[in-house]
Amino acid sequence: MQLKRLYSLARKAIDDYAMIEDGDRIAVGISGGKDSLALLYALAGLRRFYPKKFELEAITVSLGFDVFDTSKIAALCEELGVHYTEVKTYIAEVVFDVRKETNPCSLCAKMRKGALNDAAKSLGCNKSAYAHHRDDVIETALMSLIYEGHFYCFSPVTYLDRTDITLIRPLIYIDECDVIGFKKLYDLPVLKNPCPADGVTKREYVKGLVKQLEKENPGFRDRMFHAVTNGVLPAWVPVSDRK
């Protein structure tokens, strides 16, 4: 995927769901994965020509693994003209050593989001941008059906009243395969996930299930995405279609 297409699809999502307003200061959560780095590229580029003016802060919440070196991320942020902050935490120790969680992802995600939002507030941000892409939308909806027995997906825009932070997800129209292509084309400094639970989660199982269902039922992914965006879930109705 070329940079121009990344800008185009991110801008469409931003416009459809009114993700950005004049004067916003947006924290971009940088995990070190391909998705968050693509999001950084998208917002850093859009910042130059998007009609509504906004500022960016890049933030990495370090979980406490010794092998996590963020120097290349810091260099990329400097190249893109985005201020970078690394927040060091003991989340890994709490989740794996203290709590000894058998299902560590839920607690880890909650603690990471809390640390990110706290850092965003301290840097004067009113919004946080998450790097969920189109495949994440499909997988989350399917996971809700399998494990919770109802149809649900995270929203393109979510206001957190406890922290006064608004979450936005500008990559929701971009397929993961396109992010992978972008990563290779632009040689993104992706860091290997040091978490011992990486690759053995319920989401990984559902990711494989989606691939199998698409193989057996061509068009399954498109139909699942349409099921989320067709207006059944109120938060997924584009601003232009709301009464």
**Burial tier of 237 (Cβ tally within 10 Å: 0-12, 13-18, 19+):** middle
Closest CA to 140 of 40, 236, 217: 236
Per-residue confidence (pLDDT) for residue 101, from 0 to 100: 67
Q: CA angle 82-14-129, nearest 5°?
A: 45
Phi and psi for 168 in degrees, rounded to 5? Answer: -130, 150
pTM: 0.91
Percent of the chain topping pLDDT 90: 73
Per-residue confidence (pLDDT) for residue 231, from 0 to 100: 78
Cα–Cα separations (whole angstroms), residue 220 to 54, 181, 225: 37, 22, 9
Rounded Cα–Cα distance for residues 49 and 41 (Å): 13
Cα–Cα separations (whole angstroms), residue 224 to 138, 139, 144, 218: 6, 9, 12, 12
Instruction: Report the CATH fold assignment for 3-134+154-191.
Output: Rossmann fold (3.40.50)
Cα–Cα separations (whole angstroms), residue 56 to 25, 81, 120: 6, 9, 10
Q: Are 235 and 155 in contact (CB under 8 A)?
A: yes
**What's the whole-number mean pLDDT along residues 108-132?**
92
HSE (side-chain half, CA atoms, 13 Å) at 206? 17
Is pLDDT of 112 > 70? yes
Per-residue confidence (pLDDT) for residue 201, from 0 to 100: 76
Cα–Cα separations (whole angstroms), residue 203 to 38, 48, 106, 199, 211: 21, 35, 11, 9, 12
Please report, for the chain, the start and end positions of each structural domain, with discontinuous segments joined by +. 3-134+154-191
Q: What is the DSSP string of 140-185?
A: HHHHIIIIISS-----SEEEETTTTEEEE-TTTTS-HHHHHHHHHH
Rounded Cα–Cα distance for residues 160 and 210 (Å): 30
**163-220 pLDDT, tens digit each:** 999 999 999 999 999 999 999 999 999 987 766 666 667 888 999 999 999 999 999 9
Per-residue confidence (pLDDT) for residue 150, from 0 to 100: 92
Enumerate residues 6+ apart whose C-beta is below 8 A from 76. Answer: 37, 40, 188, 189
Is pLDDT of 102 > 90? no
Q: How confident is the model at residue 67 (pLDDT cuts 50, 70, 90)?
A: low
Percent of the chain topping pLDDT 70: 94
Per-residue confidence (pLDDT) for residue 199, from 0 to 100: 60
Per-residue confidence (pLDDT) for residue 100, from 0 to 100: 67
Q: How confident is the model at residue 85 (pLDDT cuts 50, 70, 90)?
A: very high
**2-48 pLDDT, tens digit each:** 999 999 999 999 999 999 999 999 999 998 899 999 999 999 999 99
